[in-house]
Amino acid sequence: SQQGEEDPQALSIQEGENATMNCSYKTSINNLQWYRQNSGRGLVHLILIRSNEREKHSGRLRVTLDTSKKSSSLLITASRAADTASYFCATRMDSSYKLIFGSGTRLLVRP
């Protein structure tokens, strides 16, 4: 079974609103990453947070990590229509080089 599960599976918001998506995972990790995928394209790395970090920012992105709850959230502030995409979390465990992806959240930002 997959390591990460995103919630919600789909999210529809108005342009200018904030979008929050969550990721839960099962085992202890070295780091957690978020990726974005536009329809029909490959994935693009957005941000990485290490297991000893609790919060990280990059532009309009804010990521939090709660290792006690084995969960992370990605917040996109002031969303734009161009943010419409699928967003995936991916985890790397301490003992492995493998990167395991969750099932993703489909975000639709309405103009």
Partner 1 sequence: NAGVTQTPKFQVLKTGQSMTLQCAQDMNHEYMSWYRQDPGMGLRLIHYSVGAGITDQGEVPNGYNVSRSTTEDFPLRLLSAAPSQTSVYFCASGRAGGNEQFFGPGTRLTVL
DSSP string of 12-47, one letter each residue: EEETTS-EEEEEEESS--SEEEEEEE-TTS-EEEEE
Among 11, 74, 76, 100, binds partner 1 (CB under 8 A): 100
Asked whether 33 and 101 are in contact (CB, 8 A), the reply is no
Rounded to the nearest whole angstrom, what is the least distance from the CB of residue 1 to partner 1 in the complex? Answer: 9
A 10 A CB-CB count for 35 gives 20
Instruction: Please identify, using beta-carbon distances, which residue of 15 and 37 lies nearer to partner 1.
Output: 37
Which CA distances in Å does 108 have to 59, 64, 68?
20, 22, 31
Residue 92 touching partner 1 (CB under 8 A)? yes
Among 33, 72, 79, 84, binds partner 1 (CB under 8 A): 33
Among 44, 78, 81, 82, binds partner 1 (CB under 8 A): 44
Residue 97 in 3-state DSSP? coil
Residue 31 touching partner 1 (CB under 8 A)? yes
Among 78, 81, 82, 99, binds partner 1 (CB under 8 A): 99
Residues forming contacts to partner 1 in the complex (CB under 8 A) are 2, 30-31, 33, 35, 40-45, 48, 88, 90, 92, 96-104
